[in-house]
Chain A
Amino acid sequence: MEEDLFISGIGGQGIQLVGKALALAAISEGLYVMLTGEYGGHMRGGSSVGSVVFGKSPLKSLPNLPSAAAVIALSDQFFENVGGRLRPASLVLAEETIADKLPQLENPKLVTVPAIALATEAGSRMAAGMAMAGAYAALTGVVTVDSVVAAMKELVPAYRRQHVETNERAIRAGAAAVPPLAYPVSFDEAGAEPVQGIVA
């Protein structure tokens, strides 16, 4: 089974970094992973969508996901880019201040996280995405919170070392703000999919 995730928000919120941190964390745990970014103008203020797919064997998912099992929403702006691509009973992990502005989805598993408040308390509201990454890890168990912290440390460039501690506090605060493994993800699947392929 493959687990897929959208991360949706505004350019400048660190959406792509959240995706990369989760992807690197998964790699460090031996998972297969695919990471794509859709960001229109390569600038602040524009739409920014990341998508991550996790799995235990080489992935069959497509680079632009037709749908996903979960979304991390850091803004209600541009949410329509992914809102229509969620499955019934998808996990919606929403930043608390924008949660009620999201369109009503069919039977979502909605979890709100006060990510901006937690990040501000941790030292910078810019770390809100990190809090969401921590919350996603704690809720689903796709990766461990410690792996997310380690991946973040690997990703932050040398000239931004001063943000590492804030980021770590935000990740752990986000993880602590949600019920642990409330929506656990299992990669084991009953019944293998039909496979028939030849290469000549």
Chain B
Amino acid sequence: MALKLLDGSEAIVEAAILAGARMYAGYPMSPATELVENMARKMPESGGVCINAATEIEGINIAMGAAATGFRAATGSCGQGLALMQEAIAEAALNETPIVIFNMARNQQDYFQATRGGGWGDYRTITLSPKDIYEAVEHAQLAFHLADKYRVPVIFLGDNLLARTQMGVEVEKIDFGPLPEKDWQLDGTSGGTGNSRQIWTFGGGKANNPGPGPDGHWRRIAEKFDMIAGCEARHEEVFMDDAEVAVIAFGTGGRFVEYVVRELRQEGVKVGMFRPITLWPFPGEALEQATEDCRQVLVFELNAGQMIDDVRLNVADRKKVSAIGGVSFDESGLNLGPLMDARVIRERILTAMEGVA
């Protein structure tokens, strides 16, 4: 086995290219800048194209265009950039164009943005939230697979620690199984030939193929997202079997909480961790089962309380649920803050447990 010393951004780029990504149209914004820099360096070597788009809106629409012709395509920025992409993400969901959107976020404040979205229509976005570089290498490939499998946009939600920490990793291609043929991809056949193809948000058609129309199209889209919700939720549990207190965390936060939970277990504290790997679909049923016998469910996230909504929706007794996270940035406002620290998390878990029998 040959490990390479890569930072998260570089590892993600290598994994994405290995997964067959051939177009990246991104916009540099800290801490997503290294992603577009590495794409620019490596994409041409693989026969692909990297474009530093003039705006985030341009970036995602370029990616959508490439994806419509069958290429694996992605865009990326930080949450501030994804805010501008919301309309196009909704379009891609409703016109069924598989694209991957990398959000190398500055914090954990983009949970609602990722799981609720800001575009119009009945759509959802599969959101993968890796806890470390090892998992990021998997998710950077899985994102393209799921996008193609369901013809949907998929969000990869990282952060500055993931983007910039360097680790010895081996980036290996993962086989996720067969995919349907892209019989919908635009192939250059023009109108008037009888064989042209359309990718259209409103489900309209043409003279020889009228299409389902808006109502039929949007009902089918909604059914598709229901189906995805039923089969693509992923999660990780650590020490949940006999946990009296569950700590719920996502992404990098999950890795930190896992560290603290292992430490507390060695001291005999019956605490466990539950980590949603997909933020949407949220692993609600699994969470309900895992927390059934817990007397407390603590939610650790670096925001004012976003994932906690999904936790309350799924834990049987929502009165057990309380927040132990909060808004926390470093001085620059561009990075996770001092709350993302094992010592602080440990204190908050122990404080929350005091007096609750």
Contacts and interface: CB of A to CB of B under 8 A. Distances in A.
B176 to A, nearest CB: 15
A104 interface: no
Given A62-B256, A196-B241, A199-B234, A23 B5 contact: yes
A66 B235 CA distance: 26
A197 B343 CA distance: 22
Contacts of B341: 64, 66
Given A66-B343, A194-B262, A200-B286, A32 B168 contact: yes
B265 A194 contact: yes
Interface string A16-33: 000010011011001111
A27 B168 contact: yes
Interface string A32-74: 1111110010000000000000000011111110100000000
Nearest to A198: B237
Given A35-B167, A36-B166, A58-B134, A63 B5 contact: no
Given A33-B168, A35-B5, A36-B166, A60 B234 contact: no
B159 to A, nearest CB: 10
Contact of B164 (A32, A36, A198, A200): A36
Contacts of B5: 20, 23-24, 27, 33, 35
B328 interface: no
Query: Interface size bucket, B side?
Result: 20 to 34
B266 interface: yes
A197 B134 contact: no
Nearest to B340: A64
Nearest to B273: A197
A105 to B, nearest CB: 18
A27 B4 contact: yes
A124 B239 CA distance: 53
Contacts, number: 77
B238 interface: yes
Nearest to B162: A63
B236 interface: yes
A200 B168 contact: no
Contacts of A30: 3
A94 B173 CA distance: 44
Contacts of A27: 3-5, 168
Interface string B281-303: 00100100000000000000000
B279 interface: no
Interface string B228-242: 000000111111010
B270 interface: no
Nearest to B161: A63
B103 interface: no
Interface in B239-260: 239, 241, 252, 255-256, 258-259
Given A32-B3, A35-B5, A64-B340, A197 B166 contact: no
A193 B267 CA distance: 12
Contacts of A66: 341-343
A35 B331 CA distance: 22
B234 A59 contact: no
Contacts of B241: 196
Nearest to B263: A66
A197 B238 contact: yes
Contact of B252 (A24, A31, A59, A63): A63
B272 to A, nearest CB: 9
Nearest to A194: B265
B262 A59 contact: no
Given A23-B5, A35-B166, A200-B286, A64 B161 contact: yes
Contacts of A36: 161, 164-166
Contact of A63 (B165, B168, B266): B165
A139 B89 CA distance: 55
B238 A34 contact: no
A145 B4 CA distance: 20
Interface of B: 3-5, 134, 161, 164-168, 234-239, 241, 252, 255-256, 258-259, 262, 265-266, 277, 283, 286, 331, 340-343
15 contacts: A20-B5, A20-B166, A23-B166, A35-B167, A36-B164, A36-B166, A58-B134, A59-B167, A62-B256, A64-B340, A193-B262, A194-B266, A196-B241, A200-B234, A200-B286
Given A62-B342, A66-B341, 19 more contacts: A20-B166, A27-B3, A27-B4, A35-B166, A36-B166, A40-B331, A62-B255, A62-B256, A62-B259, A63-B165, A64-B341, A193-B262, A193-B266, A194-B262, A194-B265, A194-B266, A198-B236, A198-B237, A199-B235
